[in-house]
């Protein structure tokens, strides 16, 4: 076996590895710097410094500053969505399955505080936000929709299993998203690392059962809350 054939495959392989190495280093650095300084406050120099590479190298991997942000959000958001999505190993009753999804999601948030900082900053969880939309343009909508779709799928599963009130899934999904976002923000704001499982359980409990007293007499919930207005 000639090593010329090796060269043809080995060299490119090494190159590809190196390429991925640099790309990831840049994204990691960007995640950190964007989180601390915001997109506009972050200089390419800062990112390069953090990744211990030269400015030009960043531009060998990304056309413009914005593209670094795009790539970062895309990669991490896909990971996040994977966590939010029900897994085969999740227990069946919807409430428990939902709790598992929320736990994983909060764990992901906790593990990727920087990303969440950035994502919030970019209105990734709130679309049309000004500076976000001016940076992300259509991409923001794309990202946002992916997340929304995942949330809707989850809610639809709950509806089909009969665990959720039979109603328009859009507000149901929106409410779930709102609660998760609240908890995430709460976690980001605090230094402490709370008991995520308890946090998730509480969240699911509030989502499913509401904040009101259970024993309010004669509450005619499921029939006509919507209809009567």
Of residues 1-30, which lie at the interface with a second copy (CB under 8 A)? none
In whole angstroms, give the CA distance from residue 158 to residue 97. Answer: 10
Closest Cα to residue 71, out of 133, 148, 136? 136
- Smallest separation, CB 77 to a second copy (Å): 17
- Tell whether residue 183 is a contact of a second copy (CB under 8 A): yes
Choosing from 1, 214, 217, 218, the residue that interacts with a second copy (CB under 8 A) is 214
Asked if residues 34 and 119 have their Cβ atoms less than 8 Å apart, the reply is no
* Residue 27 in tokens: 């994204």
75 vs 163 by CB, closer to a second copy: 163
Q: Between residue 129 and residue 168, which ones bind a second copy under the rule CB under 8 A? A: 129-132, 134-135, 158, 162-165
Choosing from 120, 147, 152, 196, the residue that interacts with a second copy (CB under 8 A) is 120
16 vs 205 by CB, closer to DNA: 16
135 vs 196 by CB, closer to DNA: 135
In whole angstroms, give the CA distance from residue 223 to residue 91. Answer: 29
Displacement of CA 105 from its chain's centroid (Å)? 8
Residue with tokens 């080995």: 10
In whole angstroms, give the CA distance from residue 69 to residue 67. Answer: 5
Binding mask 40-59 for a second copy (x = CB under 8 A): xx------------------
């Amino acid at each position: 076996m000639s090593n010329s054939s090796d060269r043809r495959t080995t060299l490119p392989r090494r190159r590809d590895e190196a390429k991925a190495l640099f790309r990831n280093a840049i994204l990691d650095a960007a995640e950190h710097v964007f989180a601390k300084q915001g997109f506009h406050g972050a200089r390419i120099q800062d990112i390069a410094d953090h990744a211990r590479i030269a400015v030009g190298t960043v531009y060998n991997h990304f056309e413009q500053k914005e593209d670094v942000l795009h790539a970062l959000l895309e990669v991490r958001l896909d990971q996040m969505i994977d966590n939010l999505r029900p897994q085969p190993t999740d227990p069946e009753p919807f409430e428990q399955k939902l709790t598992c999804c929320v736990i994983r999601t909060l764990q992901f948030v906790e593990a990727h505080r920087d990303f969440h900082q950035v994502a919030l900053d970019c209105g990734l969880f709130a679309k049309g936000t000004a500076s976000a939309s001016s940076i992300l343009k259509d991409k923001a909508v794309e990202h946002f929709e992916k997340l929304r779709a995942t949330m809707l799928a989850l809610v639809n599963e709950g509806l089909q299993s009969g665990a959720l009130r039979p109603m328009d899934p859009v507000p149901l999904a929106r409410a779930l998203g709102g609660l998760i976002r609240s908890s995430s923000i709460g976690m980001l704001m605090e230094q402490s690392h709370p008991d995520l499982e308890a946090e998730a359980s509480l969240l699911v409990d509030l989502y499913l059962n509401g904040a009101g007293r259970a024993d309010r007499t004669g509450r005619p919930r499921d029939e006509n809350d919507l209809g009567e207005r």
